[in-house]
Structure 1
Amino acid sequence: MQTSKQADWHRADIRAALEKRGTNLRALSVRAGLAKDTLRNALTRPWPKGERIIAQAIGVDPSVIWPSRYNR
């Protein structure tokens, strides 16, 4: 039986989803009380807090954006 693996969203798709909702990583970082570029870290390495902030802004669960980090 073969299972299909979902790929993580590409970072450009994450940025586009945020922009469609009128925000960006920098604005989210500042709103969350973080340094302006801090949320970029979640695009390249696991960081649950940052992933939750980004996912909430997009309106999905973090496991939808990063299935490889959550579906183990």
Structure 2
Amino acid sequence: MHTKEVKKEALKDWHKAFISAALKEKGTNLSALAEANNYSRNGLRNALYRPYPKAEKIIAKALNVEPEDIWPSRYGL
């Protein structure tokens, strides 16, 4: 595999199921995060499907990472 291919592979967005599992591992979930941040019950779920910077930051903070680590495609990485 060429270096360019390895970089492209390494910068894939996290799968929705992986994000949910990572949150569960941290003892929370999207519904709990939404409630704690005054979003509708499914408000943060929108970030799993389309760019939503405010929600992305909340999710990333809960996982102790940066939003661009979870969604590199949205941040031009």
TM-score tier, shorter chain, comes to over 0.9
Give the TM-score taking structure 2 as reference length.
Answer: 0.88
Deviations 1:4-62 (A, max 9, x none): 22110000000001000000000000000011110000000000000000000001000
Aligned length: 72
Q: Are 2:29 and 1:24 equivalent residues in the alignment? A: yes
**Aligned residue runs from structure 1 range 1-72, under 5 A:** 3=4, 4-5=7-8, 6-72=11-77
The residue type equivalent to 1:42 in the other structure is A
Q: Specify every segment of 5 or more residues in structure 1 that has no aligned partner in the other structure, as ranges.
A: none
Amino acid at match of 2:18: D
Local SS of the residue matching 1:33: coil
- Identity among equivalent pairs (%): 51
Residue 26 of structure 1 aligns with an amino acid whose one-letter code is: S
Q: CA RMSD in A?
A: 1.3
SS in 2 for 1:35: coil
With structure 1 as the length reference, what TM-score do the two structures score? 0.94
Equivalent-residue separation in structure 2 for 1:47 and 1:34 (angstroms): 13
Shift of 1:2: 5.2
